[in-house]
């Protein structure tokens, strides 16, 4: 927890009320975002995202598996987050474990849709090799290296960048296989299929401080919040997921207004993130 004096609290709250935050930003302005791809050679895809002093890494591992009997036409996706104890004092011990679980669940809710897969930002049907028999299982791991607020948005951006960097090996399936047998597959070492990230949303977290809400809150600003709503929005402006944190309830009309603001802010964030990902991948190819 960030320890602030009464004067510091009034300064932060007053600045937000006047649309001039302590670091000079307006209420709906993000900190500069920096993206680096291919940071973990052993992974199928990886990326590092820095948002101010918040620093996170996401990696993607793909393994062949078998679809579940209930969803034979879909691959499986799992998202796990780990908070490094050195990222912030509150991450030591159980505090880090609880936050890791909270972030993992929130990312799954915002990026993977409901239990049926409806509204998923990552399409699980694209991971199927042979319906009911062979699919790709994606393991997405996030690591918080340094924390200065807005971890959920930063992790979602890193996952989007890591998936853009992901190459899934091409799989050839043996033609002659009986319907009751598991088909033989050959995994290519040379041909890779690029993951389509056009439909993957970004997460915009709106943090309510006093009567106003802000995006990309720092740790100090988060310490003054009454509640926050994280909304995942794709390029088409469709809402893919929503999660709320903080104890204070919100009127439905305020949530609807937050969704409208998130849609507007997401356009700029997606364009900026796509530009940074393209620049990072071009830099990776050059090196």
Pick 229 or 196 by higher pLDDT.
Answer: 229
Domain ranges of the chain: 6-286
Q: Which of 8-12, 13-17, 108-112, 177-181 has the lowest mean pLDDT?
A: 177-181
Give the pLDDT score at 246: 77
Residue indicated by tokens 């078998």? 66
The phi, psi pair for 235, rounded to 5°, reads -60, -30
Give the pLDDT score at 114: 57
CATH tag for 6-286 (out of 3.50.50.60, 3.40.50.460, 3.30.230.70, 3.30.70.270): 3.30.230.70
Residue pair 215/30 in contact (Cβ under 8 Å)? The answer is: yes
pTM attached to this predicted model = 0.91
Residue pair 226/246 in contact (Cβ under 8 Å)? The answer is: yes
Give the pLDDT score at 229: 94
Rounded to 10 degrees, the C-alpha dihedral 136/232/85/163 comes to 30
């Amino acid at each position: 927890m960030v320890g602030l004096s009464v004067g510091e609290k009034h300064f932060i709250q007053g600045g937000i009320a006047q649309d001039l935050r302590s670091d000079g930003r307006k209420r709906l302005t993000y900190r500069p975002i920096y993206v680096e791809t291919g940071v973990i050679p052993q992974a199928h895809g990886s990326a590092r995202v820095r948002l101010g002093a918040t620093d996170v890494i996401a990696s993607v591992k793909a393994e062949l598996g078998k679809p579940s009997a209930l969803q034979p036409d879909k691959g499986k996706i799992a998202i796990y987050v780990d908070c490094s104890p050195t990222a912030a004092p509150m991450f030591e011990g159980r505090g880090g474990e609880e936050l890791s679980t909270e972030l993992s669940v929130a990312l799954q809710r915002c990026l993977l849709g409901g239990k049926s897969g409806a509204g998923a930002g990552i399409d699980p049907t694209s991971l199927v090799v042979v319906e009911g028999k062979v699919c790709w299982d994606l393991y997405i791991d996030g690591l918080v290296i340094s924390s200065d607020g807005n971890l959920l948005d930063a992790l979602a951006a890193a996952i989007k960048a890591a998936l853009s960097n992901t190459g899934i090996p091409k799989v050839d399936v043996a033609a002659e296989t009986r319907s009751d047998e598991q088909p033989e597959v050959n995994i290519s070492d040379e041909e890779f299929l690029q993951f389509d990230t056009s439909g993957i949303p970004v997460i915009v977290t709106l943090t309510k401080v006093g009567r106003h809400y802000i995006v990309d809150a720092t740790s100090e600003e988060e310490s003054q919040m009454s509640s926050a709503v994280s909304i995942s929005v794709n390029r088409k402006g469709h809402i893919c997921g929503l999660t709320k944190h903080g104890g204070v309830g919100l009127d439905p009309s305020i949530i609807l207004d937050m969704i409208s603001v998130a849609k507007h802010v997401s356009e700029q964030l997606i364009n900026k993130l796509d530009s940074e990902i393209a620049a990072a991948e071009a830099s990776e190819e050059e090196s």
